[in-house]
């Protein structure tokens, strides 16, 4: 046999083998019976899911304590409420209220959102779902400090990260 004929036959065998392997892999992922579910998410594979929920401002998320009033605590969560805000809670231990005293999403809890330099907190109540708004202008927000001025009362608060 001549050398060009051997090369052509070898190339033809490779092409047929590649087509056969592709068909076998394609057939392997199909269910063998109607209604059978094939696991396409193996243990060692990487899969990314996008739950389409926005992320909270990472500089806000965490537990904070008021400077000068160390019994006052706020926690800003990255827990999306489904309506454009995130959950948070606050309590003041000088009022004899501990974190474990708070009813889930009741008194002491609030929904929050930050738009540019304005922080909106919508506080909830145990008795009914009537949000009470607190609006703050953020004067400083970094990984360890938040300085916020309450718009309605013109009070200024400095919180440090716990």
Q: Are 72 and 94 in contact (CB under 8 A)?
A: yes
Position 52 in a domain: no
pLDDT, one tens digit per residue, over 81-126 is 989 999 999 999 999 999 999 999 999 999 999 999 999 999 998 8
- Three-state DSSP class for residue 62: strand
Token digits of residue 142:
């970094």
CA distance linking residue 110 with residue 34, whole number of Å: 49
One DSSP character per residue, 103-142 reads PTTSTTEEEEEEETTEEEEEE--SS----EEEEEEEEEES
Position 93 in a domain: yes
Cα-Cα-Cα-Cα dihedral sign, residues 79, 82, 86, 89: negative
Position 142 in a domain: yes
Position 8 in a domain: no
Q: Are 121 and 134 in contact (CB under 8 A)?
A: yes
What domain range is 138 assigned to? 62-161
| Angle subtended at Cα 121 by Cα 91 and Cα 124, rounded to the nearest 5 degrees | 65
Strands (E), 34-68: 62-66
Position 39 in a domain: no
Report, as an integer, the average pLDDT of 143-147. Answer: 96
Position 88 in a domain: yes
CA distance linking residue 129 with residue 105, whole number of Å: 10
Position 71 in a domain: yes
pLDDT, one tens digit per residue, over 42-87 is 565 666 666 678 899 999 999 999 999 999 999 999 999 989 999 9
Our count of domains for the chain comes to 1
Position 46 in a domain: no
CA distance linking residue 15 with residue 39, whole number of Å: 30
């Amino acid at each position: 046999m001549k050398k060009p004929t051997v090369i052509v036959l070898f190339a033809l065998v490779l092409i047929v083998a590649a087509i056969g392997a592709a068909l076998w892999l394609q057939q392997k992922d199909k269910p063998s019976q109607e209604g059978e579910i094939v696991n396409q998410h193996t243990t060692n594979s990487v899969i990314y899911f996008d739950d389409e929920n926005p992320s909270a401002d990472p500089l806000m998320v965490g537990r904070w304590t008021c400077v000068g009033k160390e019994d006052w605590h706020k926690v800003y969560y990255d827990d999306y409420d489904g309506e454009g805000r995130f959950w948070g809670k606050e309590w003041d231990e000088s009022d004899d209220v501990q974190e474990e005293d708070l009813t889930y999403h009741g008194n002491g809890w609030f929904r929050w959102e930050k738009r540019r330099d304005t922080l909106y907190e919508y506080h909830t109540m145990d008795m009914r779902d009537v949000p009470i708004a607190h609006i703050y202008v953020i004067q400083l927000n970094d990984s360890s400090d938040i300085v916020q001025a309450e718009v309605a009362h013109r009070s200024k608060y400095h919180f440090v990260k716990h």
